């Protein structure tokens, strides 16, 4: 899946990064030169990419050891035709809560403007990107153009680097937060999880403890 996304990203870049007329999006495909990262999280109706519909998007910019919560992005999206009871229980987003939501296309447009060509960071980010790509392609013709960083692989690499094979690897979201001693901010809201993920990242990047 990772390889497939890589290839499609490459194709997108060839196609949209150069073609005139699409100037608006061209900068998205330029290589990123800054030092910022965007932590991203989406809440969806299902864990199966094929069935999943986006309910809300949260994103926050990380610069050095700062999480720019003041400019965080929090979008809810108009309720999809089917809103499974299971997802309501997890995210506590009922149909009424999504009533004021944005249309999907506008929400994705906002997300692209917010993220730009910065790398995106997330907890099992591949899933989030797969759902975003799937929703984006029919509307824009391309998927999320960004390089991705997965907090889980960062964490796993860190554990193995410290030769801690003997202890059981716990890779749940809350487990990682706990082991990194990160306070969990607003669990199961897109922005809250994005902020917590951002803090995990900052901690692992700059922390020694």
Partner 1 sequence: MSLLQNINTRVVPFSLLNAEELSYMADHMDVGYFQKGETIITGGGASEGLHLILKGFVCELEAQDQNSSHTLVHYGVEDYFGAWSAIRGKALHDFVADEETICYILPAKHLLELIYRNNHFGDYFNNLSVQQDLLANNNPDLDMAEFMLATVDTSCMRTALVVDAKSDIEHTTRLMREQRADSALVQRGKRYGMVTRTDLLNALVLDKLPTSTPVKDIANYRLITVEAGDYLFNALVRMTRHDIDRVVVMANGQLRGVVELAEALSFFSSHSHVVGMRIERAGSVEELAATAADMEALIRSLHTQGVKVRFLMDLLAALNKRLMAKLFHLLVPEDVIPHVCLVVMGSEGRGEQITKTDQDNGLIMRDGLDWPKGPEIMREYTRVLQDIGFPACPGNVMVSNPFWVQPISEWTKRMQDWVSLADEDSILKLSIVVDAAPVAGNPALYKTSRNWFFKEIQQHRRFLSAFAKVATVFDTPLTILGSIRERSNGVDLKRGGIFPIVHGIRTMALQYQIADHNTFARIAALVDIGVLPQRMGNELQEAFGVFHLLRVKAELGRLGVDTQQPGLQNRIDLNDLDRLEKDTLRQAFHVVKEFKKHLALRYQFGSGL
Interface contacts to partner 1, rule CB under 8 A: 65-70, 74, 181-183, 185-186, 189, 191-192, 195, 198-199, 202-203, 206-209
Least CB distance to partner 1 at residue 66 (A):
5
Q: Choose between 28 and 202: whose C-beta lies nearer to partner 1.
A: 202
Cα–Cα distance for residue pair 92/89, rounded to 1 Å = 5
Q: How far apart are CA 87 and CA 93, in angstroms?
A: 8
- Rounded Cα distance, 68 and 61, in Å: 5
Q: How far is the CB of 209 from partner 1 (least distance, A)?
A: 5
57 DSSP β-pair partners: 42, 75
Cite the beta strand spans of the chain per DSSP E: 36-44, 54-63, 66-76, 120-122, 148-150
Question: How far apart are CB 131 and partner 1 at their closest, in Å?
Answer: 22
Whose Cβ is closer to partner 1: residue 45's or residue 196's?
196
In the bound state with partner 1, the residue whose beta carbon lies nearer, of 97 and 105, is 97
Residue whose CB is less far from partner 1, 39 or 129: 39
Rounded to the nearest whole angstrom, what is the least distance from the CB of residue 82 to partner 1 in the complex?
27
Q: Is 39 exposed, middle or buried (0-12, 13-18, 19+ CB in 10 A)?
A: buried
């Amino acid at each position: 899946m990772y390889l497939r996304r890589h290839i499609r990203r490459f194709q997108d870049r060839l196609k949209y990064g150069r073609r005139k007329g699409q100037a608006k999006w061209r900068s998205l495909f330029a290589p990123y030169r800054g030092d910022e990262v965007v932590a991203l999280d989406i809440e969806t109706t299902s864990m199966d990419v094929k069935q999943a519909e986006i309910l809300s998007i949260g994103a926050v910019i990380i610069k050095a050891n700062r999480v720019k919560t003041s400019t965080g992005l929090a979008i809810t999206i108009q309720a999809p035709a089917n809103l499974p009871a299971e997802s309501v229980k997890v995210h506590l987003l009922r149909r009424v809560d999504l009533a004021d939501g944005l249309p999907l296309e506008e929400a994705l447009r906002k997300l692209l403007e917010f993220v730009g060509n910065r790398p995106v960071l997330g907890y099992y980010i591949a899933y989030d990107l797969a759902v975003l790509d799937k929703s984006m392609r029919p509307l824009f013709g391309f998927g999320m153009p960004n390089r991705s960083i997965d907090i889980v692989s960062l964490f796993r690499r860190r554990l193995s680097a410290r030769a801690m094979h003997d202890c059981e690897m716990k890779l749940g979201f809350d487990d990682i937060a706990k082991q990194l001693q990160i306070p969990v901010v607003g669990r199961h809201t897109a922005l809250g999880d994005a902020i917590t993920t951002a803090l995990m990242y900052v901690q692992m990047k700059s922390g020694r403890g």
